[in-house]
Amino acid sequence: MSITAPKGFRAAGVTAGLKASGKPDLALVVNDGPARAAAAVFTSNRVAAAPVHWSREVVKDGRVDAVILNSGGANACTGPQGFQNTHTTAEKTAAALGVSATDIFVCSTGLIGEQLPMDKIVAGIGAAAAGLSDDGGAAAAVAIMTTDSVSKQSLFTGADAEGNPFIIGGMAKGAGMLAPGLATMLVVITTDADVRPEMLDVVLRDATRVTFDRADSDGCMSTNDTVVLLASGASGVVPSAGEFGAGLTQVCADLARQLIGDAEGASHDIAIRTFNAASERDAEIVSRAVARSNLFKAAIFGKDPNWGRVLSAVGTTDAAFEADALNVTMNGIQICRNGSIGDDRRLVDLEPREVLVEIDLQAGNAEATIWTNDLTHDYVQENSAYSS
Amino acid sequence: MSITAPKGFRAAGVTAGLKASGKPDLALVVNDGPARAAAAVFTSNRVAAAPVHWSREVVKDGRVDAVILNSGGANACTGPQGFQNTHTTAEKTAAALGVSATDIFVCSTGLIGEQLPMDKIVAGIGAAAAGLSDDGGAAAAVAIMTTDSVSKQSLFTGADAEGNPFIIGGMAKGAGMLAPGLATMLVVITTDADVRPEMLDVVLRDATRVTFDRADSDGCMSTNDTVVLLASGASGVVPSAGEFGAGLTQVCADLARQLIGDAEGASHDIAIRTFNAASERDAEIVSRAVARSNLFKAAIFGKDPNWGRVLSAVGTTDAAFEADALNVTMNGIQICRNGSIGDDRRLVDLEPREVLVEIDLQAGNAEATIWTNDLTHDYVQENSAYSS
């Protein structure tokens, strides 16, 4: 169950000494082909990290030979020196693998505004290249962790119309998401299916739009968020866009759910489903407005089914609805009916970690779900007690 | 120093028994004229409380005889019964004062989604009318408090071009703001200047735009926020729009600053000033994006001058700037220069309650300041431990 499960990939995770904790901090993923097709999506933050600028250029031709990731510093807001350090990272990795630096995709995560210790990075690249193995996926998933409490991996086995199997493997780090992001989210997805870069790009954007883009733990967008998808073609199987996209979406949804489940300091994972909306866009903005209400999130932490805070967030949007036609259900109890008092709020059980809030706009047939977390003492503690 | 300082006003604050605490919960402000000019601004939340719907209609003709305010329940999301209760409140107040119900402005604040105990309200109205006095402003300011730890009042004495004096008095409640709002913000401002309703409306909108609208404690918008301005004309002084507007803006700014200073659970009051922006709109959205970043707000609570969290918030906006031309100064220390590492962050002293963050976009000459608070354990506690 890892990025090395599909044929044609090797990986490694090593300790380069970037972290004070002494934990693994450098991962390398290599596509041995025969194909080296790739696509990627990046943070939409205009203050993007040096590796984001670099990797955007690398993936433009649809070819990536390897991904090098460090979890000891974001290399964001580091000026020309920071970009030079990303360039050097790519060159040293390329030299170790005997490929071109322009085919090396670079990711970084950690504190913003600090230069990376390049001597340690360079030494670590040598160790990672030497340690590459076809079961190195799990070690790589550990080496990209920052505030994560567990590593995150996912696996999907699919088949084309004739039943020929292909595999998609994924790993993720970060209690965050693509855009916005709590902390930097880095995701590497591999497949042995034979898929051209153009199709990879289309299905990756489709999949991330309804998975990572709808995980909104704390509304903050990172400078480094990246999802990269590599296809080796080693299975020789050529699935249709539908066959491949379905599997890819499943892997992305699984990883996004794992990110929400491990979000910094959270005690509840909250699915906010808006339905009977006039459009999917309306459903998404309503769910996101609720997901970003600190008052709502603090209430869920306190196990208080405070539907007034749901309605006051819904009311800030321009979605189509009438205020006196809103229904809100929390974990199955309809506590708000037609914009007013519904069933007894004391019937709502908010003890379980997973919470389902359903908002009925009575304005159409579209729906969307945003995943978020509650606002807790531990969130404040983790994000105030030290720089991250 | 209160709403009864201007000539022509009486007020009262009484205990109607709406609050479990037994604290004062009903306030009445009466304009004895000779003029009864008025203007008001309201929450832009589409889920607006019953008193907001009522009072919007009342003020449309530019005349308000009295304002009745309760702090024992928001009367929001309460359906037709809630609107009927507001109507009854206006009628009973009008009867006690011998005026028309359509000239009675009603405000409510407290928990959303509960019906008001009308027997207590009606009895309280009688007591408030009986207790009206020309030094009742301070008692009224106390009776509108909910989670406020102190009452908020402001006073301004101005003069027309010939030196004839007029007075503006104000009171406010809520650790919140007009739009958005942390908790319901209610503001009553009185003046004995002789100002027509049309001019009151213009200067009130101008004043709130740069004061209450730029106080953004936690990004949450209330269903009840209201600012109402009453002019008695009792001084006989007719100031110009400029003379009156300057005083009104000063009173609004003073009250807004008091609201931020008393925000729920806050340990820092943070002014986020964006300057050298291409437009005032750009400056405002940049400052507001930073004000709404939970990661930034938690860092300030932790006294951590984490400028990376400032830049990542700036990067989410569409304001005109280049990422490598951003400067950030915190309490006088320029910790980010040209989008990269500036002076030593350890030089920044975040011990004082007041924090000044200055963001230089290097893109023009406009500026704007948003006031916000830090994200603290006490904020989470106050908003999770009980319904509010």
Measured between beta carbons, the chain A residues lying within 8 angstroms of B82 are 340
Flag the least confident range among A207-211, B176-180, B262-266.
Answer: B176-180
- Determine, for residues B315 and A385 on separate chains, whether the beta-carbon distance falls below 8 Å: no
- Determine, for residues A294 and B383 on separate chains, whether the beta-carbon distance falls below 8 Å: yes
Kindly give the interhelix angle for B377-384 and A377-384, rounded to the nearest 10 degrees.
170
- Determine, for residues A312 and B111 on separate chains, whether the beta-carbon distance falls below 8 Å: no
Spatial CA neighbour of A104 closest among A51, A45, A46 = A51
Between β-strands A26-31 and A37-42, what pairing exists: parallel, antiparallel or unpaired? unpaired
pLDDT of residue A221: 77
Flag the least confident range among A60-74, A364-378, B132-146, B217-231.
Answer: B217-231
Whether B267 and chain A come into contact, CB under 8 Å, resolves to no
Angle ∠(B324,B326,B328) on CA atoms, nearest 5: 140
Q: Which residue has the higher pLDDT, A379 or B353?
A: B353
What residues does A302 pair with on adjacent strands? none
SS3 sequence of chain B: CCCCCCCCEEEEEECCCCCCCCCCCEEEEEECCCCCEEEEEECCCCCCCHHHHHHHHHHHHCECCEEEEECCECCCCCHHHHHHHHHHHHHHHHHHHCCCHHHEEEEEECCCCCCCCHHHHHHHHHHHHHCCECCCHHHHHHHCCCCCCCCEEEEEEEECCCCCEEEEEEEEECCCCCCCCCCCCEEEEEECCCCCHHHHHHHHHHHHHCCHHHECCCCCCCCCCEEEEEECCCCCCCCCHHHHHHHHHHHHHHHHHHHHHCCCCCCCEEEEEEEEECCHHHHHHHHHHHHCCHHHHHHHHCCCCCHHHHHHHHCCCCCCCCHHHCEEEECCEEEEECCEECCCHHHCCCCCCEEEEEEECCCCCEEEEEEEECCCHHHHHHHHCCCC
The Cα of A18 is separated from the nearest Cα of chain B by a number of Å equal to 19
Spatial CA neighbour of A134 closest among A15, A297, A11, A24 = A11
Smallest CA–CA distance from A328 into chain B, residue: B77
Measured between beta carbons, the chain B residues lying within 8 angstroms of A112 are 306-309, 311-312
Residue A316 in marked binding region: no
What residues does B66 pair with on adjacent strands? B30, B104
- pLDDT tens by residue, B186-200: 999 999 999 999 999
Confidence of residue B24 (pLDDT cuts 50, 70, 90): very high
**Pair of tokens at residue A34:** 């025969």
Quote the percentage of chain B above a pLDDT of 90: 79
User: If DSSP codes are grouped into helix, strand and coil, which group holds residue A191?
Assistant: strand
pLDDT of residue B219: 74
Spatial CA neighbour of B86 closest among B127, B121, B44 = B121
CB A288 within 8 A of CB A373: no
The answer, yes or no, to whether residue B181 has pLDDT greater than 50, is: no
Distances, alpha carbon A73 to alpha carbons A80, A225, A388, in Å: 16, 13, 9
Distances, alpha carbon B266 to alpha carbons A80, B218, B330, in Å: 38, 10, 19
What is the C-alpha separation between A283 and A274, in angstroms, rounded? 5
pLDDT of residue A233: 97
Write out residues 277-306 of B within 8 Å (CB-CB) of A.
292-295, 298-299, 301-302, 304, 306
Asked whether this chain's domains A9-261 and A269-384 adopt the same fold, the reply is no
Write out residues 218-237 of B within 8 Å (CB-CB) of A.
218-223
Residue B388 in marked binding region: yes
The conformation of residue A302, written as its DSSP 8-state character, comes to T
- Determine, for residues B307 and A113 on separate chains, whether the beta-carbon distance falls below 8 Å: yes
Distances, alpha carbon B197 to alpha carbons A46, B39, B232, B240, in Å: 45, 6, 11, 13
Flag the least confident range among A216-230, B33-47, B133-147.
Answer: A216-230
Choose among B76, B218, B311: nearest Cβ to A294: B218
pLDDT of residue A386: 59
Spatial CA neighbour of B222 closest among B78, B373, B77, B47 = B47
Tokens 């003492």 correspond to what residue?
A377
Smallest CA–CA distance from A378 into chain B, residue: B377
Give the HSE-up count for residue A42: Cα atoms under 13 Å, Cβ half-sphere: 23
Burial of B146 (0-12, 13-18, 19+ CB in 10 A): buried
What is the C-alpha separation between A95 and A87, in angstroms, rounded? 12
Q: Which CATH architecture has domain B9-261?
A: 4-Layer Sandwich (3.60)
Long-range contacts of B114-117 (CB under 8 A, 24+ apart): B114/A341, B114/B73, B114/B74, B114/B78, B115/A341, B115/B73, B115/B75, B115/B78, B115/B81, B115/B82, B115/B85, B116/B18, B116/B70, B116/B72, B116/B73, B116/B75, B116/B78, B116/B82, B116/B85, B116/B89, B117/B17, B117/B18, B117/B72
Instruction: List all residues 6 or more positions away from A84 whose beta carbon is below 8 Å from its beta carbon.
Output: none
Mean pLDDT across chain B, nearest whole number? 93
Residue B322 in marked binding region: no
Flag the least confident range among A178-187, B44-53, B300-309.
Answer: A178-187
pLDDT of residue B314: 95
Whether A47 and chain B come into contact, CB under 8 Å, resolves to yes
pLDDT of residue B177: 45
pLDDT of residue B220: 75
Angle ∠(A297,A152,A65) on CA atoms, nearest 5: 125
Smallest CA–CA distance from A74 into chain B, residue: B308
What is the C-alpha separation between B286 and B289, in angstroms, rounded? 5
The Cα of B338 is separated from the nearest Cα of chain A by a number of Å equal to 8
User: If DSSP codes are grouped into helix, strand and coil, which group holds residue A367?
Assistant: strand
Domain regions of chain A by residue span: 9-261, 269-384
- Determine, for residues B292 and A219 on separate chains, whether the beta-carbon distance falls below 8 Å: yes
Question: H or E element: which one contains A271?
Answer: strand A269-277
Type of residue numbered B47: V
As a whole number of Å, the CA-based R_g of chain A is 22
Give the HSE-up count for residue B40: Cα atoms under 13 Å, Cβ half-sphere: 33
The Cα of B379 is separated from the nearest Cα of chain A by a number of Å equal to 9
What is the C-alpha separation between A312 and A320, in angstroms, rounded? 15
Smallest CA–CA distance from B380 into chain A, residue: A298
CA B13 to chain centre: 19
Average pLDDT over residues B60-84: 96
Spatial CA neighbour of B69 closest among B135, B149, B134, B14 = B14
The Cα of B370 is separated from the nearest Cα of chain A by a number of Å equal to 18
The Cα of B234 is separated from the nearest Cα of chain A by a number of Å equal to 39
As a whole number of Å, the CA-based R_g of chain B is 22
Type of residue numbered B276: N
pLDDT of residue A388: 52
What is the C-alpha separation between A30 and A232, in angstroms, rounded? 10
Residue B317 in marked binding region: no
- pLDDT tens by residue, B237-252: 999 999 999 999 999 9
Write out residues 72-131 of B within 8 Å (CB-CB) of A.
74, 76-79, 82, 111-115
Q: Which fold has domain B269-384?
A: Ubiquitin-like (UB roll) (3.10.20)
Smallest CA–CA distance from B43 into chain A, residue: A316
Measured between beta carbons, the chain B residues lying within 8 angstroms of A113 are 307-308, 311, 336, 340-341
- Determine, for residues A47 and B377 on separate chains, whether the beta-carbon distance falls below 8 Å: no
pLDDT of residue B295: 86
pLDDT of residue A68: 98
Tell me the backbone φ, ψ of residue B272, rounded to 5 degrees.
Answer: -110, 105
A and B: number of Cβ contacts within 8 A = 208
How much is the ipTM here?
0.85
Measured between beta carbons, the chain B residues lying within 8 angstroms of A321 are 46
CB B171 within 8 A of CB B258: no
What is the C-alpha separation between A255 and A83, in angstroms, rounded? 29
pLDDT of residue A1: 55
The answer, yes or no, to whether residue B264 has pLDDT greater than 90, is: no
Tens digit of pLDDT per residue, chain A (388 long)?
Answer: 589 999 999 999 999 999 999 999 999 999 999 999 999 999 888 889 999 999 999 999 999 999 999 999 999 999 999 999 999 999 999 999 999 999 999 999 988 889 999 999 999 999 999 999 999 999 999 999 988 889 999 999 999 999 999 999 999 998 654 444 445 789 999 999 999 999 999 999 999 998 998 888 777 778 888 999 999 999 999 999 999 999 999 999 999 999 888 887 889 999 999 999 999 999 999 999 999 898 899 999 999 999 989 998 999 899 999 999 999 999 999 999 999 999 999 999 999 999 999 999 999 999 999 999 999 988 888 777 755 5
What is the C-alpha separation between A78 and A225, in angstroms, rounded? 17
